[in-house]
Amino acid sequence: MFEGKAAIVTGASRGIGRAISVDLVRHGASVALVGRDRGALEETASACSAAREDAKCLILTGDAADAAAVDGFVRETLESFGRIDFAIANAGQSIDALLLRLKAEAIEQMLSVNLKSAFYLCGAVARPMMKQRSGSIVLLSSIVGVMGNAGQAAYAAAKAGLLGLTKSLAKELGSRNIRVNAVAPGLIETAMTEKMPDEAREYLLKQAALGRAGKPEDVSGVVTFLCSEAAGYITGQTLVVDGGVLM
As annotated, the active-site residues are 155
H/E stretch holding 185 = strand 178-185
Calpha distance 28→235 (Å, rounded): 23
105-111: long-range pairs with CB below 8 Å, 24+:
106/154, 107/154, 110/154, 110/155, 110/157, 110/158, 111/154, 111/157, 111/158, 111/161
Pairing status of strand 86-89 against strand 57-61:
unpaired
State whether residue 188 is helix, strand or coil.
strand
> What are 86's strand-pairing partners?
7, 136
Rounded to an integer, what distance in angstroms lies between the CA atom of residue 167 and that of residue 184? 14
Amino acid type, 30: S
CA nearest to 60, candidates 74, 49, 48, 47: 74
Query: Can you say how many angstroms the Cα of residue 212 is from the centroid of all Cα atoms in its chain?
Result: 22
Beta bridge partner(s), residue 137? 87, 180
Q: Would you mind telling me the total number of residues written for the chain in this entry?
A: 247
